[in-house]
Amino acid sequence: MIPLDPLPNLIDQVYARILEAITDRSLPPGHRIRQNELAEKLGVSRQPVSHALHLLHRQGLVAESGRRGFEVTRLDPERIRQLYEVRGAIDALAAKLAAGRAKSDASGRTQLEAALQAGRTIDRNTPLARLIALDVDFHSAVYRLAGNPAIEEMITPQWPHMRRSMATVLAELDYRESAWTEHEAIAAHIFAGNAKAAEAAALAHAQTAGRMTEERLRATDDKAA
């Protein structure tokens, strides 16, 4: 992690940098966070680091560990399964609504096309953080094309946890390609205005990702036991 510029939104910057490190596993689950060390790496004082860690703590991304310390929380397979159940329903609704607006919302369609085009650039060497960002961009484009702001408002608080879960499956080289094949299928149904097919494809995509994530997390837990 490189030092940050001392801008007014320093706490937000520190929060974003720590969240990115948790997501891409630079700070892996169970890692003990030393505030002084982290502040030194980021080139800031302990105060913004402390504030950022308390924000992450409220979200369940770090937990208290020892006296005034924190550690990165571990992903709970059961909790991830529950999140993907909800996300599947939301993504299915978003795809259905997006299909109904694809022909009338030129701006939203262009954003989705751009997200797809960016996703086509990935390869075996694409960094995990980039893969996650592209995945989020695709789904966010579908949400915006759906035309219902409540969808993004409901899913946004869960993105940090979802991004962590994405890292679990996107680290698998084979799934990187299949995930974007599924994205292409969802988008094709949306562009064609086929609401029923778009809804089914989006639900299946979320269910597959959720199942794979839960299986990998449980396998990791079994090895650690």
Burial class (CB in 10 A: 0-12, 13-18, 19+), 79: middle
Least confident of 6-20, 68-82, 149-163: 6-20
Q: Between 35-42 and 46-58, two packed helices, what is the crossing angle to 10 degrees? A: 110
Least confident of 62-76, 77-91, 143-157: 62-76
Which structural domains are found in the chain, ordered by start?
10-72 (1.10.10.10), 77-224 (1.20.120.530)
Give the percent of the chain with pLDDT over 90: 67
Q: Tens digits of per-residue pLDDT, 30-67? A: 999 999 999 999 999 999 999 999 999 999 999 998 77
Please state, in angstroms and rounded to a whole number, the distance separating the CA atoms of residues 126 and 129.
8
pLDDT of residue 5: 60
Q: What pTM was computed for the model?
A: 0.85
> 30: alpha, beta or left, given left = phi > 0 and alpha = psi -120 to 50?
left
Place of tokens 């096309």: 113
